[in-house]
Amino acid sequence: MNRWTKVIGTGGYLPPIIRTNDDISSMVDTSDSWIYERTGIKSRRIAGPEETASSMAEIAARQAIDMAGIAATDIDMIIVATGTPERVYPSTACLLQERLGIKHAVGFDIQAACSGSVYGLSIADQYIKTGFANNVLVVGSEICSRIVDWSDRSTCILFGDGAGAILLTAGTEPGILSTHIHSDGGYEDLLYCPNPQVAAEAKQHELAFISMRGNEVFKVAVNTLGRIVDETLAANGLQQSDIDWLVPHQANTRIIAATAKKLGMSMDQVILTLENQGNTSSASVLLAFNEGVRDGRIQGGQTVLMEAFGAGFTWGSVLLRY
């Protein structure tokens, strides 16, 4: 009998502080209309000084565990995607493991920038399918506001903070149908964030933050996401019309609209969260999926395509039957 990976719980956390486009317009030379027209973003959430990647991950994870109706101690693997860990080590997954009171599990972080949650789901699927793990928690948790230069209008308008979680288990029916992950290290200069230690040693303020050549990233993202859609449909022998929902990484409405068009989908079939969340990097796909599940748009038996693109470049997709 086939062993499939099933979703049994989802969760999400957004910090309470809201930073609007008007707030940012008082910090840099920009405007609400420019930001909204070019990106689709109106506001984003900002973590409070006491919050960390693991504290936000814990809230999202507990929601997913509650929905699944299992005990936290039933989880045997924890995968956290983050580019903003509070410690270089222990990993955020280990810190989360302790917060959740799970003694017998394996936890590790992955670094794939904005594609982190899709990478995490792909890794979890391999371990579940092979029988190595039964219940896997995947979390994306990001405090992007701490690695954004709030004097750089080309990046500070885009990013926000948040955490998304998903709980997966082994089942006899699909499930995750396929995952596809890729990277190409040849694009480092277009989008990067140095290790803060490098900036401290060099005493160069600008080295501490995200640096992006947005327009060039945009073009590669649109083309690459178009290709991953083709790859995913072909691998499953599916047509565009077989997909009920697109749950994209939330970087820019124009990038998302291009992917939806490629799938022949209307924007009504896309779970969009970036208007009030901005780009939460590895948290964004899981936050969007959680929203679609909890507000009842994504129904049992429907087919969902998740996709993401980020620094590296990294990119990938997950096709699942909810």
Provide the annotated active-site residues.
Answer: 114, 249, 279
- Contact of 34 with 204, CB cutoff 8 Å: no
Residue 22: both structure tokens together: 């008007």
List, as own/partner pairs, every contact residues 199-204 make where C-beta atoms lie below 8 angstroms and the sequence separation is at least 24, other chains included: none
Q: Is 265 left (phi over 0), alpha (psi -120 to 50) or beta?
A: beta
Distance CA 31, CA 60 (A): 32
CB of residue 148 to ligand UT7, shortest distance in Å: 12
Which residues form the interface with ligand UT7 (CB under 6 A)?
A: 30, 34, 38-39, 114, 153-154, 157, 214-215, 217-218, 221, 251-252, 255, 279, 309-310
Distance CA 83, CA 14 (A): 17
Distance CA 239, CA 268 (A): 18
Distance CA 9, CA 172 (A): 17
- Contact of 245 with 293, CB cutoff 8 Å: no
Buried b (16+ CB within 10 A) or exposed e, 209-235: bbbbebeebbebbbebbeebbeebbee
- Contact of 307 with 118, CB cutoff 8 Å: yes
- Contact of 117 with 82, CB cutoff 8 Å: no
Residue nearest to ligand UT7 (CB): 214
Residue 306: both structure tokens together: 């998740």
